[in-house]
């Protein structure tokens, strides 16, 4: 009975054929719906792991064409791609890949089409760890995070199975990624509650990013087009409701940089609450404990 229950969990929870030995150099594949959300929620952890010897690839699902102020969609997409590549270099990504889907329109993209493209990336890069948007963050109103996260989650599972995008189609063999990290801004109090059981349930995991916070901050500030749009939207909402933030009385590069810094540092402090760290990033983690119960790993 125990074996049957465990087997059922293995089938439905995640890939089950784990590599016996980790590769000499970890490979991180980071999937992002929008560039800024990924860097703010996971950029410090990735930068820290790269400093420890990992390789990292960033995949931008959308082109961020809506994240701009007084720019055409085409100009916004171009600038945001260039700035994403610059930010990626700061954090240590070897490559920034842009899939080119229009932002906030992923609902119109067939789920299996997006999933299958991500399967090809997973099989090509053969990561040891995958970072994806958390599609279960109920407080998140940006639905692209849900669509990209769900497709990425299913690609993680499906990339290990032969008959999803048959290998002969591109000459790529199935691949099992041992570790999966769901990232999202640390805003929902339920993210801090203990899970009901460790078996087959992704667990909270917190990373200390104090040493790389300056690098993360430079990377987020390199997203100048997105940051300006972020600040101008705040200013517009304040004006519309008769409120004032003195910092925004004059909007220039210094003002935008300061507000971005306050946001990045504030979220890092929030994610660190309840831990031994001063600045942190928080994930839901699905590793070997999620995939195989301890009594069956002995």
pLDDT at 288 over 80: no
The fraction of the chain above a pLDDT of 70, given in percent, is 83
CB proximity list for 61: less than 8 A, separation 6 or greater: 31, 32, 33, 99, 101, 106, 114, 144, 148
pLDDT band at 6 (very low <50, low <70, confident <90, very high): very low
CB half-sphere exposure, 126, CA atoms < 13 A: 10
Looking at residue 2, what is its pLDDT?
38
| Dihedral (CA of 44, 47, 52, 54) sign | positive
Looking at residue 99, what is its pLDDT?
97
Looking at residue 14, what is its pLDDT?
44
DSSP 3-state of 166: coil
Q: Which two tokens stand for residue 246?
A: 């003195």
pLDDT tens track for 43-81: 999 999 999 999 999 999 999 999 999 999 999 999 999
pLDDT at 203 over 90: no
Nearest to 179 by CA among 40, 53, 284: 284
Bigger pLDDT: 23 vs 6: 23
> Cβ(154)–Cβ(56) under 8 Å?
no
Task: For residues 246-265, give the mean pLDDT.
Answer: 92
Q: Which two tokens stand for residue 39?
A: 């860097």
How confident is the prediction for the chain on average, in pLDDT?
87
Looking at residue 41, what is its pLDDT?
95
Q: Where are the domains of the chain?
A: 2-296
pLDDT band at 269 (very low <50, low <70, confident <90, very high): very high
pLDDT at 13 over 60: no
**Cα 149 from Cα 145, distance rounded (Å):** 6
DSSP 3-state of 216: helix
pLDDT at 132 over 50: yes
Does domain 2-296 sit in CATH 3.40.50.10320? Answer: yes
Task: For residues 106-135, give the mean pLDDT.
Answer: 96
Nearest to 14 by CA among 158, 132, 118: 158
pLDDT at 185 over 90: no
pLDDT band at 150 (very low <50, low <70, confident <90, very high): very high
Say how many Å lie between the first and final Cα of the chain, rounded. Answer: 18
Looking at residue 297, what is its pLDDT?
58
pLDDT at 82 over 60: yes
Query: What is the Cα gyration radius of the chain?
Result: 20
């Amino acid at each position: 009975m125990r074996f049957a229950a465990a087997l059922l969990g293995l089938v439905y929870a995640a890939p089950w054929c784990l590599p016996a030995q980790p590769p000499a150099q970890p490979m991180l594949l980071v999937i992002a719906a929008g560039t800024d959300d990924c860097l703010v929620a996971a950029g410090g952890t990735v930068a820290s792991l790269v400093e420890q010897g990992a390789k990292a690839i960033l995949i931008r699902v959308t082109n961020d064409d809506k994240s701009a102020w007084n720019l055409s969609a085409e100009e916004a997409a171009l600038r945001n791609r260039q700035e994403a590549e610059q930010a990626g270099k700061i954090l240590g990504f070897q490559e920034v890949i842009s899939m080119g889907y229009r932002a906030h329109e992923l609902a119109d993209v067939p789920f299996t089409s997006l999933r299958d493209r991500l399967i090809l990336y997973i099989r090509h890069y053969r990561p040891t760890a995958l970072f994806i948007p958390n599609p279960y963050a109920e407080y998140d109103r940006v639905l692209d995070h849900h669509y990209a996260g769900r497709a990425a989650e299913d690609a993680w599972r499906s990339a290990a199975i032969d008959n999803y995008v048959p290998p002969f189609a591109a000459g790529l063999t199935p691949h099992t990624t041992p570790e999966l990290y769901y990232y999202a801004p640390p805003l929902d109090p339920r993210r801090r509650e203990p899970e009901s059981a460790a078996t087959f349930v992704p667990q909270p995991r917190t990373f200390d990013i104090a040493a790389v916070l300056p690098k993360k901050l430079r990377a987020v500030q390199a997203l100048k087009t997105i940051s300006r749009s972020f600040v101008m939207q705040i200013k517009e909402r304040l004006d519309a409701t008769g409120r004032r933030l003195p910092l925004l009385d004059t909007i220039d590069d210094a003002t935008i940089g300061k507000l971005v810094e306050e946001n990045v540092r504030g979220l890092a402090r929030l994610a660190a609450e309840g831990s031994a760290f001063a600045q942190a990033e928080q994930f839901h983690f699905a590793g070997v404990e999620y995939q195989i119960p301890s009594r069956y790993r002995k």
